[in-house]
Structure 1
Amino acid sequence: MKLKIFIFSLFFFTFNSIFSQNLKGIYVLNENTKTPISSVLISNSDNSFQKNSDENGFVNLQNFTSENQKIYVSGIGYEKEEFDLDSIKKEKDFGYIFLNPKIVSIAEIQLKNSAKNNIFQTISDLDIHLRPINNSQEILRSVPGLFIGQHAGGGKAEQLFIRGFDVDHGTDVNISVDGIPVNMVSHAHGQGYADLHFVIPEFIDKVNFDKGPYFAEKGNFTTAGFVDFKTKDFLENNFAKLEVGQFKTYRGVLGLNLLKNSKDVKNQSLILATEAYFTDGYFDNPQEFNRFNGMLKYHGKLNDNNFLTAYFSGLSSKWNASGQIPDRAVEDGTIGWFGAIDANEGGKTSRYNFNANLKSYLKNGGKLTNQIYYSKYLFELYSNFTFFLNDPINGDQIRQKEDRNLYGFNSTYEKSTQLFGLKSETIAGIQLRYDDVNDLELSRTKDRNITTEQLKFGDVDEVNLGAFWSQKIALNQNFDITPSIRFDYFNNRYNDKLLNQKLKSNSNIFSPKLRMNYRLNENVQFYSYFGKGFHSNDTRVAVLENGKKVLPPALGTDFGGIFKIGKKLILQSAVWYLWLDQEFVYVGDEAVVEEGGKTERMGIDITARYEIYKNWFADFNLSLAKPRSLGVPSGENLIPLAPKLVSTGGVTYRKETGFNGSLRYRLMGDRPANEDNSVVAKGYFVWDGTVNYTSKNWELGVSVQNIFNVKWKETQFDTESRLYNETSPVSEIHFTPGTPFFSKLSFTYFF
């Protein structure tokens, strides 16, 4: 009898072991919500196997080897746990493990080779939740060193600043949402125009970002860096939210998950999201700004190997604007601080998106992602920056307008493999983007309705084909290198309807890159990055150059480190350099491109996270930059409006229920407004805060921008203008005032 029991036990454990070892992979899920968790590190006992879960919570176990069946799981915001593959929940060839969420403790964080991306380069939905924001564009403020400024009404995309760049509305920072590009090429207002208002903040899951031209999967506009928004695939709860604030500000948000899931694993969802927003704003001339957003998103597991994500989303927006006002008009009392010279500025815009993403796990252990997207985009903007300089009778108001169809396809292949006996990861892909822009217009107008002169009018067709290959090679457990190469081809066509001529050009560029990471120990990691990038020129100018000098290279390098100091402080620092062969500046208000010549920027970035006490956290971000034009005499080589010093930081109290909140500052230093610094754009220092009380079924919150009600200039330009009663033009600072003290009360009901 004992022999039979022994044989049965041996058979059982042997079978169980074989079954465990034959698991194709595991899914990592949240214990409370049963939804997937991304960016969780799975390792074995000797750390020879280390992989992060993807957006479906999946980890491929093809190369998993261990003396036992134990795996070790760690992720920021979750309990660190150990699991035995023999005892976890299994379905067919896949296993499921469940993690308990918790408020992150810095003491538990260990630096791995991927620490830079996991600790410092991701903004979570919890971070977003504890910042005072009115739209998704303002979430960009959460990226260390990235500043935004509004200067033509709430519906226009904000001006961006990062790493010594005044990037206008996006010329040198690549922004995307779920793989859909946000930057608009050959836009009516400016090259790279990036408007994020079509995204509802409450449905953002994560924001990934990094700086520099070092990432092969990122092409056009990725000189200073990139920012990727990812929307939620699942809702923890249905909810309805109402916000009421000063200046007749009202906002309502509704989120519904229309599909029911099994209690143990949620593998599909259908989300309905809507938002309505209205405000008069704090200007003397009411903005009457309204914005409506909607999204219907499906995410689901089609079978063991395929996941589909697809959605429709839409934005419609309309507003009035006070525009930029000259210092002299405020100083002599002609208008107040929040006044306007031309009260007929403003605009309207809409964007409708379709996005479909199929992620397939292949039999060879690889992963293939195919995406198609389409956007219908309309834009119409009325501005007046010079008042009566060019037309002393009708004024200088201009209209910028376009009707765009944006088509795209992305395909990416990922595979872990062996290269010369070393662990390696391959990422390769192709990207196709086609912009079909109709009736691209710049006209002089009066009172919006009367066209006095057409300056530019035509159609743009722009095709960008990109291909990239990236090979990460682990030379040992502590040192890895990632060489990569990217190729981009552009075909530009312009049908000039005023001159009745059709022009075209072709251009291409190769962009090699190299990243290296070295982990000295669990508390110190060093990295060095090298890379070449670019940003394209506007089609209307590219066709005139016949493809020459329209893709000027940008060469950059970063040297940095991440240091865990004691148990409660993590510090990242980097020294960087970026050289541009030609700094094109598209002036949409004149429909011309100004060649800024060769430029260089160098600087230091410092980011710190400190755990003050349980649930209390402090963060500090400082970016110093020295932007200069090359080949220009010293003293005349400053780059107008390029930021030299920016800093953000604050204190946050985090709890899942009960009170939580944050107190945060943002600092922009003084900047030169012209090449010799004889005109200065004054900096500002502003505090914002949020306090929420959260229960199981409801949440009440208060957010305040500019707590101390300081008077500050959000955007500034050294502009030559003439007022109606002036006989000669004046060049001086023109500015848009920043928000005064602005409070907002919100109530959310979960069901």
Structure 2
Amino acid sequence: MFPAQAAHAGDAGQAAPASEGENRTGDQDVSRDIVVYGRGLQQVGTATSGSQGVVGYADFENRPIARVGELAENVPGLIATQHSGEGKANQYFLRGFNLDHGTDLAGFVDGAPVNMRTHGHGQGYLDLNFLIPELVERIDYTKGPYHAELGDFANAGSLAFTTKSRLAHPMAEVSGGSFGYVRGLVAGSGELAGGTLLGAFEGTRADGPWVLSENLAKFNALLKYSRANWSLGLSAYANHWRSTDQIPERAVASGQIPLNGYIDPNDGGRSGRIALNFNGHFGRTTVAAYAIGSRLRLTSDFTYFLNDPVNGDAFRQVDRRGVFGGSVRHEGGEGALVWRVGGDARWDHIGQVGIFRVANGVVTGTIRNDRVDEVSGGLCGEGEWHVTPALRLVLGLRGDVIGYDVRSDLAANSGKGSAGMVSPKAALAWQVGKGVELYANYGEGFHSNDVRGATITVDPASGAPQGRVGVMAKSRGAELGARIERGRLTASLVGFWLDLASELVFVGDEGVTEPNAATRRFGTELSLFWKPVDGLTIDGSLAYTHARFRGVDADAVFIPNATPLVLAGGVSGRITSRLTATLRLRHFASAPLTEDNLHRSSSTTLVNAGAYWDIGRWRISADMMNLFNARDPDISYWYASRLPGEPAGGVEDRHIHPVEPRQVRATLRYSL
């Protein structure tokens, strides 16, 4: 099965057991009315690598999350942080990558891509804030560039979210908590014209734990009509907020501001998304199509008065676009040889992608303002040969092409062009015993770069000549892995290697693309899911990565923000027939902030707890985030900034955004 496509129950062949107490109405457990996928879903004999897997709603229903993006942390070894308000895409970390907002992590929801190319804030921008957690049925994930169906951005890994098609019963819930947090959700489904219509509406309001009130106001809506073999979904999302961005540590140490303080009160943004998507399964053929409208306006100020001592360095990034495309997959053959072919196409019609100077929250000038059309197409195919009943060989090939037309406000930076790449893939799976399988993988892939970097000739900020960069950055990787599924225990262990030809990053406050050196990463990952007795589940993951630049001076080999160690896990237990409790730990280690490793971030450790009562038609949840009130950083950077009264040239310093302090949230749900 192609992981990027959502699977129906018939495709997966079996389902994981539902979690205890899920979707209860009265004393009757109605969970069997819904197919629940999860880590209990058998992967031995179907998976093609040790690092791919499935997480279902039953796995994270009883799990405290502070923000929607933390759904991604269900993937072993992945961390989702935030440094600029809850309306912006999260900062992701996986396999020694600082993935920024998605550069090497591909995301899909109901078959439609989420990453945004040539985006105003960052290449591959992956904003998951439009998801409603209660309506996520499953998350299929992969790691590494080994899968032929996955193209752009899928170097470190991929996430494919599938939303539910129906609910056992309509429900209404309301949440409240610390720092002015209020959330409401109504959702339900019913039969209509031979199919099922699901509808949901969510609204969230929060001040946040910051001196500067966040004034978050978020709204989500979803309509989804499903028949036996196809579905049509319409979703809408709107959000606006004020940001407390990362702050210089010296300002905290001097007493100028508290740890949850701010420097510029005008940071913040607005974002919106509306999407129509279709998914169909016709025999052994799967079809997906989508049309997405996306908007972002984000005002930031990271260096304060470093470049402009009078008006300040604040800037606004704007992105308006439509994204249209689709994919088709077909499987053929039977018995010892099965083959799969597919293709996908995408058009990003970007009406505006720009960056503007701002003073006191008001736009004062233009740094760069462009219109872009970016079109891509991909073809993929793979054959799976069952050499013996226990040995499978998969060989795949993928070809991608990207065409672009940049129309800049500065003619010298306009232009057209195209680029292409062919990526071979190979996998070997050997089932050495009942419930035990070994894997070997090799693959090549790529991430695309902001195509404005491919046409630029003049730095829009300084007017100096500017070199161009390539449209695609190639990756090569390999992996050895093992998976065991024995009774109540599921575990996997992998070792991986990944080379990236160049980590090209769009520098948002300058409007240019800056090339970085080639990199190499290797490491190991361990994950397990264990149910020692009925009503008790234990899960954990550990990931270690050694990440370095290649072909650079010996004193500049460290990759900034490449976290070497990630540890996460939790225990969930049924205390009584109606009460379940959860305790979870998340830790990521100190990482270099500069290429010479002279400056490093502090490690971060968070513990969250939750308790969940099912009483007839009612469900009461109580979550406590940051149980021990840690004051660790959520994200750290090292760069120069200038505060009022400081000398020209600024001061190099560590800039941090702290984790949110201890807070409590309670939720009351009623199932009709």
Q: Same fold (TM over 0.5)?
A: yes
Conserved 8 A contact 2:637-2:654: yes
Partner of 1:480: 392
What's the RMSD between the two structures over aligned residues?
2.6
1:221 corresponding residue in structure 2: 153
Partner of 2:226: 299
Q: What's the counterpart of residue 462 of structure 2? A: none
SS of match in other structure, 1:675: coil
Task: Assess if the C-alpha contact under 8 Å between 2:166 and 2:188 holds in 1.
Answer: no
Among 314, 320, 339, the alignment partner of 1:426 is: 339
Distance (whole Å) between structure 1 residues aligned to residue 360 and residue 386 of structure 2: 63
* 1:11 corresponds to: none
> In 2, are the aligned partners of 1:355 and 1:374 still within 8 Å (CA)?
yes
SS at match of 1:247: coil
Alignment-derived partner of residue 445 in structure 1: 358
Among candidates 601, 620, 631, match of residue 711 of structure 1: 631
- Tell me the secondary structure at the aligned position of residue 289 of structure 2: strand
Cα distance between partner residues in 1 of 2:130 and 2:235: 8
Q: Please point out which of 377, 396, 400 is paired with 2:313.
A: 396
Amino acid of the residue matched to residue 671 of structure 2?
F
Deviates more, 1:487-496 or 1:609-618: 609-618
Tell me which of the two structures has the higher relative contact order, counting C-alpha pairs closer than 8 angstroms and 6 or more residues apart: 2
After TM superposition, give the deviation of residue 77 of structure 1 in Å. Answer: 1.0
Rg comparison, structure with higher value: 1
Residues 344 and 495 (structure 1), Cα distance of their counterparts in 2 relative to 1, 3 Å cut: same
- Please name the residue that 2:258 is paired with: 336
CA contact (8 A) 2:67 2:86 kept: no
Report if the CA contact (8 A) 1:111-1:523 is conserved: no
Do the aligned residues in 1 keep the contact of 2:38 with 2:55 (CA within 8 Å)?
Answer: no
CA distance in 1, matches of 2:160, 2:577: 29
Q: Alpha-carbon deviations, 1:651-676, whole Å to 9, x = none?
A: 11259961123110000100000011
Instruction: State whether residues 304 and 642 of structure 2, in contact with CA within 8 Å, keep that contact through their aligned partners in structure 1.
Output: yes
Deviations 1:135-182 (A, max 9, x none): 431101111111011111110111110000001000001011011111
Q: CA deviation at 1:614?
A: 1.9
The Cα shift of 1:634 comes to 2.6
Secondary structure of the equivalent of 1:194?
coil
Residues 229-256 of structure 1: CA deviation (Å, up to 9, x unaligned):
0000111110001000000100001102
CA distance in 2, matches of 1:330, 1:54: 47
> Which has the higher mean CA deviation after the structures are superposed, 568-577 or 395-404?
568-577
Amino acid at match of 1:148: A
1: CA distance, partners of 2:153 / 2:545? 19
Q: Write the distance in 2 (CA, Å) between the matches of 1:742 and 1:712.
A: 15
1:369 maps to 286
Aligned residue identity for 1:717? Y
CA contact (8 A) 1:110 1:522 kept: no
Asked if structure 1 preserves the Cα contact closer than 8 Å seen for 2:187 and 2:199, the reply is yes
Find 1:563's aligned residue among 473, 481, 484: 484
**What corresponds to 1:23 in structure 2?**
none
Structure 2 distance, partners of 1:427, 1:616, is 39
**Deviation for aligned residue 1:56:** 3.9
For the 8 Å contact 1:346–1:381, the answer to whether it is kept is yes
- The alignment covers a number of residue pairs equal to 649
1:133 corresponds to: 65
Give identity over the alignment, percent: 30
Q: CA deviation at 1:453?
A: 2.6
Deviation for aligned residue 1:497? 1.7
Matches within 5 A, 1:278-293: 278-293=205-220
Counterpart AA for 2:125: Y
Change (3 A) 1:228 1:510: same
Letter in 1 for 2:506: Y
Q: Residue 57 in 1 paired to residue 1 in 2?
A: no
Query: Structure 1 residue 684 and structure 2 residue 604: aligned?
Result: yes
Change (3 A) 1:327 1:536: same
- 2:111 aligns to what? 179
CA distance in 2, matches of 1:657, 1:540: 58
The equivalent position to 2:530 in structure 1, one of 610, 631, 635, is 610
Paired residue for 2:429?
Answer: 517
1:77 is aligned with what amino acid? Answer: P
How far 1:103 moved relative to its partner?
A: 11
SS at match of 2:502: coil
**What amino acid sits opposite 2:263 in the alignment?**
I
How far apart in 2 are the matches of 1:505 and 1:74?
A: 46
Q: Does 2:662 correspond to 1:745?
A: no
SS in 2 for 1:137: helix
Do the aligned residues in 2 keep the contact of 1:505 with 1:547 (CA within 8 Å)? Answer: no
Q: Please tell me whether the aligned partners of residues 116 and 562 of structure 1 are also in contact (alpha carbons under 8 angstroms).
A: no
- Residue in 2 that maps onto 1:326: 248
Amino acid at match of 2:118: S
Q: Structure 1's 655 and 353: CA in aligned 2 closer, same or farther, altered over 3 A?
A: farther
Most deviating of 585-594 and 151-160: 585-594
- The structure-2 alpha-carbon separation of the partners of 1:352 and 1:655, relative to structure 1 and needing over 3 Å to count, comes to farther
Q: CA deviation at 1:738?
A: 0.6
What pairs with 1:461-472 in structure 2 (closer than 5 Å)? Answer: 461-472=373-384
Whether 2:112 is the aligned partner of 1:191: answer no
CA deviation string 1:502-561 (max 9, x = no partner)? 411110000110111100011421001100010011010123499973212100001010
1:679·1:732 contact (CA, 8 Å) conserved in 2? no
Displacement of 1:595 in angstroms is: 1.3
SS at match of 1:553: strand
User: What is the alpha-carbon distance in structure 1 between the residues aligned to residue 435 and residue 317 of structure 2?
Assistant: 53
Separation in structure 1 between the aligned mates of residue 413 and residue 613 of structure 2, nearest angstrom: 62
The 3-state SS of whatever aligns with 1:676 is coil
- 1:607–1:238 CA distance, 2 compared to 1 (3 A): same
**Residues 105 and 683 of structure 1: CA distance in aligned 2, closer, same or farther (over 3 Å):** closer
Asked whether 1:551 is paired with 2:472, we answer yes
Counterpart of 2:23 in structure 1 is: none
Residues 562 and 168 of structure 1, relative CA distance in 2, 3 Å threshold? same
Deviating beyond 6 angstroms after TM superposition, the runs of 4 or more aligned structure 1 residues are 98-106, 108-111, 116-120, 545-548
Find the aligned partners of 2:498 and 2:514 in 1 and give their Cα distance: 20
- Which residue in 2 is equivalent to 1:66? none
How far residue 704 of structure 1 moved from its aligned partner, in angstroms, is 1.2
Question: Cα distance 1:239–1:507, how it changes in 2: closer, same or farther (>3 A)?
Answer: same
Tell me how far apart the structure 2 counterparts of residues 101 and 320 of structure 1 sit (CA, whole Å): 39
CA-to-aligned-CA distance 1:672-714 (integer Å, 9 cap, x gap): 0001111111111110112101134110010111001111110
Q: How far does residue 470 in structure 1 lie from its aligned partner after superposition?
A: 1.5
Question: Measured at CA, do residues 500 and 524 of structure 1 come closer, stay the same or move farther in structure 2, by a change above 3 Å?
Answer: closer
1:413–1:427: 8 Å Cα contact kept in structure 2?
A: yes
What secondary structure sits across from 2:556 in the alignment? coil
Give the alignment of 1:145-294 within 5 angstroms. Answer: 145-259=77-191, 268-294=195-221
**1:356–1:229 CA distance, 2 compared to 1 (3 A):** same
Q: Is contact 2:38-2:138 (8 Å) kept? A: no
8 Å contact kept, 1:185–1:191:
yes
Q: 1:109 to 1:581 in 2, by over 3 A?
A: closer
Q: Indicate whether 1:647 and 2:647 are aligned.
A: no
Distance 1:351 1:59 in 2: 30
Q: Report SS of the residue matched to 1:394.
A: coil
Separation in 2 of the partners of 1:120 and 1:440?
35
In structure 2, what residue type is equivalent to 1:245? G
Secondary structure, counterpart of 2:58 in structure 1:
helix
**Aligned 8 A contact 1:507 1:548 in 2:** no
Give deviations 1:81-134, integer Å, cap 9, x for gaps.
xxxxxxxxxxxxxxxxx979999999x987731267899611111122111124
Task: Report if aligned partners of 2:290, 2:324 keep a CA contact under 8 Å in 1.
Answer: yes
Q: Is the 8 A contact 1:103 1:615 kept in 2?
A: no
Kept in 1, the 8 Å contact 2:324–2:348? The answer is yes
**Distance in structure 2 (CA, Å) of the matches to 1:394 and 1:605:** 48
CA distance in 2, matches of 1:193, 1:383: 16
TM-score if structure 2 supplies the norm length? 0.92
**Which letter does structure 1 place at the counterpart of 2:17?**
G
Within-5 A mapping of 1:17-56: 55-56=7-8
Which one of 291, 302, 308 corresponds to residue 385 of structure 1? 302
Question: Per-residue displacement from partner, 1:28-83 (whole Å, max 9, x unpaired)?
Answer: xxxxxxxxxx99xxxxxxxxxxxxx99443369xxxxxxxxxxxx8643179xxxx
Question: What one-letter code is carried by the residue in structure 1 that aligns with 2:443?
Answer: G
